[in-house]
Structure 1
Amino acid sequence: MTVHFYEEDIPEGLFAPGASIAVDTETMGLVTLRDRLCVVQLSDGSGDEHLVRFGPRSTYDAPNLRDVLADPERLKLYHFARFDLAAIRFYLGVMPAPCYCTKIASRLVRTYTDRHGLKDLVRDLLGQEISKQQQSSDWGGPDLSDAQRDYAASDVRHLHAMKAELDRRLEREGRMELAQACFDFLPARAELDLAGWPEVDIFAHA
């Protein structure tokens, strides 16, 4: 298991064609239009993680990364995809779909709990522990500490294994088609967030 680090883009041909990719982002905060994208994390589930850092004056001209994220034949796995899709769409200019969201899948099948954070899922589904101590650290600094790099890598390290277990439970409960419909809507949900409807339920009667 190795964590690879790049500045501004990934190498060409880093991932096999069509391989599903786990994706996460680190930003300066939770307001996409204000808080810039700092790091994109990627993993194909083979045991290595790849981190791409963008500087404060980045133009986000990352053609290799954008090609991977925009590939319509490549499934992208996220935890809370809604946020990551919006950040990538706004800063990199591509919609990183099709997508799978482990948080949505968890909410559909783990109805016995209200704990759907990544740390809880990794513990419940895989029996492993991850640290979230660096979650609120400064991702825009001139250097990323070893703790930050390990934290960022851990956010994509387990998504493939989690998807396999969540799929098994979705099939068991007869909710796979419903989950897929939710995943298919996520790009539109992210576009609504960016367009000014982050907290408004446009499907509500009033």
Structure 2
Amino acid sequence: MNYQIITESNQLDLVCQQARETDVVMLDTEFVRTRTYYPQLGLIQLFDGEHLSLIDPTVIDDMSAFVGLLQDTSVLKVLHACGEDLEVFHNSFGCLPYPMVDTQVMAAFLGHGLSTGFAALVDHYLGVELDKSESRTDWLARPLTAKQLDYAAADVHYLLPLYEKLLNEVTEAGWWQAAQQESDLLASKRVKTVNAEMAYLDVKGAWQLKPRELAVLKPLATWRYKEAVRRDLALNFVFKEADLLTVARLGLQNRQRMEQEGIDPRAIQRHATRIISIVKAAREIPAEEYPDKIERLMDMTGYKQKFKVLKDEVKHAAQASGLATEFIASKKQLNQVISWVWKKDRDPAKLPDAMQGWRLELVGEKLNKLL
């Protein structure tokens, strides 16, 4: 397995130009995300079938040649379990690889589990046992060891023959177009514009709060999100979610009460003054301006019966198609459909997953009728 380490812009220009002369390239990234809000890119692996390059983005000033490759619509990019890789590309370069297909998705159309790992598929299809001992390494540390580099290179070296085998089987089974649609759907979900003012809706347990308490949680969650982005710090490293709920529920307005309720002492030391001012301001909001109580689908009349009817329909589709029930429509995706009908009045601009692409004909239209 021969590879070259790319540390300069002129080297990058050359390997990206070579890659753009092919129809398909293999891509992977190595990144670190322990305390940060955004993933920190440490290495990019690129294989065009002939040249295997390990690109070091931490030392290259001009990555525009690589961005050009990501955006070159004549070159298909192949990744495995690409969700976080897409987030890395979007955060680092402001774009996603397109067109793109995910081999984990391709494998799911062939009856493999939805989250089958790369090593398991390489073992199954190629009879090669990969060493995954470096998966938790610090990819921002330098220099990288030979073992780390070999590990990173293997991820794209074996991705090519794996992709070719999967492509043959998926095409033969009639699912190739569906695999591309599903990969596009995955990509679209990774580019989310967060509305800071609505961040409170993503706080687990927010549904338990009364409107008066939500009026406190809402500005607190907005502050926490903005602080996380500003400092590039994971949300819970700014202020723990459970602590956020405690402050909102009890309307805590002094340090002593925060300490008594078990709020993280470091968070109190750093943020108490700001939080107290937010809580005080929120307590002044008139009742008519409180957010509505969060109504969960599962608490709505008739939900359990409807969910069971939809789930049974998906089971029929699974038996007929040979695809896994969870892959056709997970619990979350079935809830999307119910929410789309009950709360969004079947808004065509907000189609749930089941009402588009390959799922529409397989099961979506039937689910819609059943509702």
Select 1:24's aligned residue among 13, 17, 28: 28
For 1:41, the equivalent position in structure 2 comes to: 45
Q: Is the 8 A contact 2:20 2:72 kept in 1?
A: no
Matches within 5 A, 1:65-84: 65-84=66-85
For 1:11, the equivalent position in structure 2 comes to: 13
Distance in 2 of aligned mates of 1:173 and 1:60: 45
Shift of 1:74: 0.7
Q: Is the 8 A contact 2:3 2:153 kept in 1?
A: yes
TM-score after normalising by structure 1: 0.85
For 1:203, the equivalent position in structure 2 comes to: 336
Q: Which residue identity lines up with residue 70 of structure 2 in the other structure? A: L
Counting matched residue pairs gives 200
For 1:86, the equivalent position in structure 2 comes to: 87
Distance in 1 of aligned mates of 2:117 and 2:177: 23
Q: Which residue identity lines up with residue 87 of structure 2 in the other structure? A: A
Give CA-to-partner distance per residue, 1:141-160, whole Å, 9 cap, x none. Answer: 12111011001101111222
Distance in 2 of aligned mates of 1:110 and 1:32: 36
Q: Which residue identity lines up with residue 178 of structure 2 in the other structure? A: L
Distance in 2 of aligned mates of 1:11 and 1:26: 21
Q: Classify the secondary structure of the residue corresponding to 1:203.
A: helix
Matches within 5 A, 1:41-190: 41-46=45-50, 48-55=51-58, 61-111=62-112, 113=113, 116-190=116-190
Shift in alpha-carbon separation, 1:127–1:115, aligned structure 2, 3 A: farther
**Once structures 1 and 2 are overlaid, which stretch shifts more, 148-157 or 7-16?**
7-16
Distance in 1 of aligned mates of 2:64 and 2:108: 34
Percent identical residues:
24
Give CA-to-partner distance per residue, 1:144-191, whole Å, 9 cap, x none. Answer: 110110011011112221112112221333322321211232321221
Q: Classify the secondary structure of the residue corresponding to 1:172.
A: helix
Shift of 1:23: 0.3
Higher relative contact order (CA 8 A, sep 6+): 1
Shift of 1:84: 1.2
Q: Which residue identity lines up with residue 47 of structure 2 in the other structure? A: S
Shift in alpha-carbon separation, 1:30–1:18, aligned structure 2, 3 A: farther
For 2:304, the equivalent position in structure 1 comes to: none
Q: Classify the secondary structure of the residue corresponding to 1:40.
A: strand
Q: Is the 8 A contact 2:20 2:75 kept in 1?
A: no
Q: Classify the secondary structure of the residue corresponding to 1:109.
A: coil
Give CA-to-partner distance per residue, 1:98-122, whole Å, 9 cap, x none. Answer: 10100111112134x5671010010
Q: Classify the secondary structure of the residue corresponding to 1:142.
A: coil
Unmatched tracts of structure 2, length 5 or more: 203-331, 340-371
Distance in 1 of aligned mates of 2:19 and 2:32: 27
Distance in 2 of aligned mates of 1:75 and 1:39: 20
Q: Which residue identity lines up with residue 97 of structure 1 in the other structure? A: Y
Q: Which residue identity lines up with residue 109 of structure 2 in the other structure? A: L
Q: Is the 8 A contact 2:77 2:101 kept in 1?
A: yes
Distance in 2 of aligned mates of 1:35 and 1:140: 11
Shift in alpha-carbon separation, 1:8–1:89, aligned structure 2, 3 A: farther
Shift in alpha-carbon separation, 1:153–1:91, aligned structure 2, 3 A: same
Shift of 1:93: 1.9
Distance in 2 of aligned mates of 1:60 and 1:92: 13
Shift of 1:36: 0.7
Larger gyration radius, structure 1 or structure 2: 2
Distance in 2 of aligned mates of 1:30 and 1:41: 21
Q: Classify the secondary structure of the residue corresponding to 1:133.
A: coil
Q: Which residue identity lines up with residue 65 of structure 1 in the other structure? A: F
- Structure with greater helix percent: 2
Distance in 2 of aligned mates of 1:93 and 1:115: 27
Distance in 2 of aligned mates of 1:32 and 1:44: 32
Q: Is the 8 A contact 1:61 1:92 kept in 2?
A: no
Q: Which residue identity lines up with residue 165 of structure 1 in the other structure? A: K
Shift of 1:60: 6.3
Unmatched tracts of structure 1, length 5 or more: none
Shift in alpha-carbon separation, 1:51–1:119, aligned structure 2, 3 A: same
Q: Which residue identity lines up with residue 11 of structure 1 in the other structure? A: D
